[in-house]
Amino acid sequence: MAQTEQYELAGIVGAEIIPLRLAITAMRDSGYKNTAYAIAELIDNAIQASATTVEVLCMEKRETVSTRARRRLHEIAVLDDGSGMDAATLRTALQFGNGTRLGDRSGIGRFGMGLPNASISQTRKVDVWSWQNGPYNAIHTHIDLDAIEAGTMRDVPEPEHQPVPHRWRDLSGGLGISGTLVVWSELDIDRLTWKSATHTLQKTEQIVGRIYRRFIVDGSVTIRLFAKEEGADVLQDRSAVLNDPLYLSPSLAMPKPFDTKPMFELVFDEQQEIEYNGDIHPVTVRYSVATEATTAEAGTQDRGQTGYGRHAADNVGVSVLRAGREIMLDQGWCIGYDPRERWWGAEVAFPPTLDEIFGVTNNKQAATHFAELATTEWQQLAEDGELFIDVVNRLKEDRDPRGWLLELADSIKRNLEQLRKRIKAQGAGNRSSKRTRHGDADDVTTAVNKRWKERSRQRPIEGEDRPTTAIDIEEIQSDLTMNKNYSDADAKELVSLIHDAELKVVFLEADFTNRFELFNVEIKGNVTEITFNRQHPAFDDVFGTLATVEEDVSGLSKEEIAERLSRAINAVKITFAAWARYEREAGIDRAKALQKVRYDWGQLAANFLLPEDPLVI
């Protein structure tokens, strides 16, 4: 039997390297994170065409679903007032992997996949109208997946003169002399991330407000978000507002008071230069951190439980911008279990000429090479005896993109550690001895002071019974603000508590010069300060795991709570293991003295931990 006949019996017609019908099916699963990111591809095209207004129009209609009448998203259109396209350009724009800007590194376009790929990821039919001399002189063409799968459509149809339909002209906020309209008319309900028009636009606003934040801030682009039910009232009509993950500008999307003032402050920005292919390419990195107002506005409430705290939790990560347009918010640089990560912001901006170095994907949703270095240390890439600079030079010689990014990644990691230190300091007042909502000292401070005073009656300390003076209070307050980085408000609150509750011992925290000192004991007047070192590795594992100022424990699952408890318990075990090793290394004579210290300390701890005292873990 001839090979051709075998192919025909097997249902194979021809031997195309990429069979059209199979390719289209594969392209539909091209990796768009959700419907909003697919819509963003169309907004990219509009901005690249110099549009100043982009309209996202969502239409709903009522359908019967499981005997119930429900509104369902029926059509999505994206309309712009850009430069429009002629017939040849329009036809090319609907070809996969083609386009008018292939190789163009001057803007946010380039890859030639956006319009067709984004469209078929959500719909089975896409219609495009474009005009350069008024919407009545528009030309139109389309892609129909049913026709492609049936084998009746192999080419993009020749564009034909066809005015923009009345229904879309009527919904528009104002058609330009030139522009483009893209309509997804046979939506795949199972492929849509959200099923209603209002929910789709709500999520789209959050995402496009972040992706195009620079265009929104400078006023170069307005993105209108419109939803309507067929034959009924308008459901939504407003412009997308700023969603800045660095929180350096106020936004109407933010809860009060940060709708009128910035929630974060700029820490610093820096510019690095990457020499690649004989040219110098600038990369700008900016860092921000939450202001003290985020703590003050929360009052006695954990700031993570506030509306603005929850907003910040949705914008965690390093924002990566290409030509001013965000391509990803990379959470790989974050400590996943730590809710304090929401209180810093970082932004890396690079030009399209570095696409290959950063590893930009054709759907502009990731920078793969850059993202890899978030969890890769340079030592992992080193060969025997290599120093950092040796690794960089070898990777560059091998044309490995990581060679050009290692210095940038190392700088980001070091700077994020500095931001985390500032955030720990912001929470000092809440993690220290503090008042409860009833004005009393917190439970653990109350319990310790009770035992401390009982012990004083059994084993008095010289001078311990003298009252705390105004000079003592002034010294404590000055030390808190000058040496331990407490805010003025937190310091005043603590010294007021010491005075009112007649405290003899308080818990504090600070950044020690020696990071290996776990805690220290200081005497201020008649008050004993137990200060924990934020620089010690045990601080985060023991205290930061659960007792973070921002922690919204009620929002955690049982599994997450169990994981955090396990981290704290394991850290305590490891700390005591270190003590055990210290005893073993001390030598026989000194070890006996340490054993006596351990016994006496354990006996005192047992007395302090009597069960009738309520303690907070």
Q: How far apart are CA 5 and CA 161, in angstroms?
A: 44
One-letter amino acid identity for 195? K
Total residues belonging to the chain: 617
Sign for the CA dihedral angle at 427, 429, 432, 434 comes to negative
What residues are paired with 126 via a beta bridge? 143, 184
Q: What are phi and psi of 126, to 5 degrees?
A: -130, 130
Q: How confident is the model over 462-471, as a mean pLDDT? A: 82
**pLDDT level of residue 617 (50, 70, 90 thresholds):** very low
What pLDDT, in 10s, does the model give residues 195-224?
Answer: 999 999 999 999 999 999 999 999 999 999
More confident residue, 2 or 534: 534
pLDDT at 421: 86
Alpha helices in 182-331 (DSSP H): 197-211, 213-217, 293-298, 307-313
- Strands 527-533 and 505-510, bridge-based pairing: parallel
Q: Which two tokens stand for residue 260?
A: 């009128």
Whole-number average pLDDT of the chain = 87
Mean pLDDT computed over 472-487: 89
Distance CA 431, CA 292 (A): 15
Q: Tell me the average pLDDT across 282-305.
A: 90
Model confidence over 230-284: pLDDT tens digits? 888 899 999 999 999 999 999 999 999 999 999 999 999 999 999 999 999 999 9
**363-386 burial by CB neighbour count: b if 16+ within 10 A, else e?**
bbbbbebbbebbeeebeebeeeee
Asked whether residue 160 carries a pLDDT value surpassing 80, the answer given is yes
Amino acid making up residue 490: D
Give the full edge-to-edge strand order of the sheet including 53-65: 160-161, 139-144, 125-131, 179-184, 68-80, 53-65, 222-229, 234-239
pLDDT-above-90 percentage for the chain = 53
User: Is the separation of the CB atoms in 164 and 131 below 8 Å?
Assistant: yes
Token pair in block for residue 341: 């990560």
Q: Is the pLDDT score of 338 beyond 60?
A: yes
Q: What is the mean pLDDT of residues 321-331?
A: 96
Dump pLDDT digits (tens) for 370-381.
999 999 999 999
Most confident of 129-133, 154-158, 427-431, 585-589: 129-133
Alpha-carbon span 227 to 220, nearest angstrom: 23
Q: What is the pLDDT of residue 537?
A: 80
| pLDDT one-digit tens code per residue, 172-189 | 998 999 999 999 999 999
> Stretch 364-388: mean pLDDT, rounded?
95
Mean pLDDT, rounded, for 585-602 = 87
* pLDDT value for 15: 58
Q: Is the peptide bond before 245 cis (omega within 30 degrees of 0)?
A: no
pLDDT of residue 258: 96
- For the stretch 119-134, pLDDT in tens is 999 999 999 999 999 9
pLDDT confidence of residue 591: 86
Three-state DSSP state, 235: strand
Let me know how many helices (H) and strands (E) the chain has, helices first: 23, 16
Contact 39, 78 (CB under 8 A): yes
Pick from 1-5, 103-107, 185-189 the range whose average pLDDT is largest. 185-189
Beta strands in 104-214 (DSSP E): 125-131, 139-144, 160-161, 179-184
Residue 360 corresponds to which tokens in the numbers above?
Answer: 């930009």
* Residue 18 scores a pLDDT above 80: no
Q: Is the pTM of this model over 0.85?
A: no
Cβ(579)–Cβ(518) under 8 Å?
no
Alpha-carbon radius of gyration of the chain: 31
Parallel, antiparallel, or unpaired for β 279-290 and 222-229?
unpaired
Measured CA to CA, the distance from residue 596 to residue 590 in angstroms comes to: 10
CB atoms < 10 A from the CB of 482, how many? 10
- Report the alpha-carbon distance of residue 306 to residue 328 in Å, rounded: 26
**CA distance linking residue 243 with residue 308, whole number of Å:** 12
**Which tokens sit at 20?**
């059209």
- Find all residues with CB under 8 Å of 567, minimum gap 6, and list them: 337, 541, 545
DSSP-derived letter for residue 539 is: I
Nearest CA to 534 out of 429, 418, 432, 421 is that of 421
